Amino acid sequence: MVKGTPKHEAPEPFEGPVVATVVGGTIIWFALFLVQLPFYGWFDDHGHTWWLWTCLAGGGLGFIGIWHVRRRETAVKRARAGQAVGSADVPEAEPLRGPSPASPASSTD
């Protein structure tokens, strides 16, 4: 057995309130930045200004995350709606068939 080969199937991905979670996290990062901003002098004196910039970066990346998860959620909903509509309106397709071995197109006489 190859190392790293899974011994069981992977579970289905968790689909929860992803947009709300990312929005909440983004709000927390910006709130932390704003709470620490009045103490910039203290952070600068003690060499901890990276705390401020980490919170600001977390908020900025959160905006990118919000954009991403909203687009993903829209695409998932669109795909599910397409499957529901497509399965009801479209008749079942016939399988593709190639030339049979006895057909004249396959003989090389």
**pLDDT at position 57:** 97
Residue that the structure tokens 């992803």 belong to: 18
- Which residue positions in the chain have pLDDT lower than 70? 1-2, 86-109
Q: pLDDT value at position 5?
A: 78
